[in-house]
């Protein structure tokens, strides 16, 4: 089958069954080059290695052949795709908590800078000693660290 025929079929067909290993790779490449799809492929046999390599997300299981595990982007320790969903949820929660921490730390830095600039401009002396800045950082880091336990 030519690449043009495979490209046309990937637009029209939802499920492919009983295909050869080289056809798997051609289908994945065609789906990726269409620009509309992100392709994930799950395989555990040696014939799946090339398809796993060209997919955006290659998924394999721990009991798969060594070649397949090397070609995969992600190796599941359990034969359950629910692990992926849990991983995505945990990653999103971690990312959100990291953003909260960064914004709180940035607010403290801006606060210290503004206080220092205002006092220095109007009062002509150092407003905060290094020990005071460190104490402020320590006192604000405690509430910031609790963010990691918040869901």
75 and 118 in a single domain? The answer is: no
Average pLDDT over residues 47-62: 90
CATH code of the domain containing 45: 3.40.50.1000
The domain boundary, picked from 55, 79, 103, lies at: 79
18 and 69 in a single domain? The answer is: yes
Average pLDDT over residues 67-87: 88
Residue 26 has pLDDT above 90, yes or no: no
Mean of the per-residue pLDDT values of the chain: 83
Contact 149, 101 (CB under 8 A): no
pLDDT band at 135 (very low <50, low <70, confident <90, very high): confident
Pairing of strands 74-76, 40-42: unpaired
119 and 59 in a single domain? The answer is: no
**Which has more confidence, 118 or 54?**
54
The predicted model scores a pTM of 0.61
SS3 at position 108: helix
Specify the pLDDT at position 148. 63
Please list, in sequence order, all residues whose beta carbon lies within 8 angstroms of the beta carbon of residue 44, skipping any fewer than 6 positions away. 60, 61, 63, 64, 65, 68
pLDDT band at 139 (very low <50, low <70, confident <90, very high): confident
21 and 58 in a single domain? The answer is: yes
Domain that holds residue 34: 3-79
CA angle 102/108/112 to nearest 5° reads: 145
69 and 92 in a single domain? The answer is: no
pLDDT band at 145 (very low <50, low <70, confident <90, very high): confident
């Amino acid at each position: 089958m030519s690449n043009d025929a495979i490209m046309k079929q990937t637009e029209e067909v939802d499920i492919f069954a009983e295909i050869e290993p080289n056809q798997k790779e051609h289908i994945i490449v065609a789906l990726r080059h269409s620009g509309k799809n992100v392709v994930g492929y799950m395989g555990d046999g040696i014939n799946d290695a090339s398809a796993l390599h060209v997919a955006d997300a290659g998924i394999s299981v721990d009991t798969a052949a060594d070649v397949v595990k090397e070609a995969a982007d992600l190796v599941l320790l359990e034969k359950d795709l629910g692990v992926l969903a849990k991983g995505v949820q945990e990653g999103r929660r971690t990312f959100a908590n990291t953003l909260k921490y960064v914004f709180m730390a940035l607010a403290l830095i801006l606060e210290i800078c503004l206080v220092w600039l205002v006092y220095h401009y109007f009062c002509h002396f150092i407003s905060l000693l290094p020990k005071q800045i460190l104490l402020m950082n320590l006192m604000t880091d405690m509430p910031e660290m609790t963010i990691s336990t918040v869901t």
